[in-house]
Amino acid sequence: MIKKFLLAFTLIIANVITCNADDSTIKDIPIRKKEIPVDRPKAPSKQSVTAGVANGTLFINFAISEGESLLTITSTERTLEYTFDSAAPLMLNVGALRDFKISISTEKGNCYESDTIESSI
């Protein structure tokens, strides 16, 4: 039930942002788990972290909550840090950034990161 609510909420917010956007759309940001080398195979995770950006607003959603998380956005101009609960989708106004990278550290000890995004938002 909670997953359906979060999915519906995310889709509604994405639709509102898209409808209110002048001529820009949400740009997807690929987020991947930062793996620690292990000598044995592991089962695939059900976790999925999605992120996007539109009009200076960053969207992040965890499929499975990992508790309190620290979001770090590093750009050529500045570094932003923000603590949030991964149980709910995050909408954060970050303004205009150029050449930025996202990293997320969770309460469960997992780290997620993006490649450098080379365009302004």
How do residues 49-63 score in pLDDT, each as one tens digit? 999 888 889 999 999
pLDDT-based confidence at residue 25 (cuts at 50, 70, 90) = confident
Provide the pLDDT for residue 4. Answer: 64
Place of tokens 């930062």: 34
Does residue 56 or residue 13 have the better pLDDT? 56
Q: Is the pLDDT score of 23 beyond 90?
A: no
Domains of the chain: 2-34+47-114 (2.60.40.3080)
Q: Is the pLDDT score of 34 beyond 90?
A: no
Provide the pLDDT for residue 66. Answer: 94
How far CA 12 is from CA of 7, 8, 30, 88, 89, in Å, comes to 9, 6, 21, 14, 12
pLDDT-based confidence at residue 32 (cuts at 50, 70, 90) = confident
Identify the sign of the CA torsion 78, 66, 48, 32: positive
Task: Determine whether 71 is exposed, middle or buried from the number of CB atoms within 10 Å of its CB (0-12, 13-18, 19+).
Answer: buried
- Point out the least confidently predicted range of 2-11, 28-37, 42-51: 2-11
Provide the pLDDT for residue 3. Answer: 66
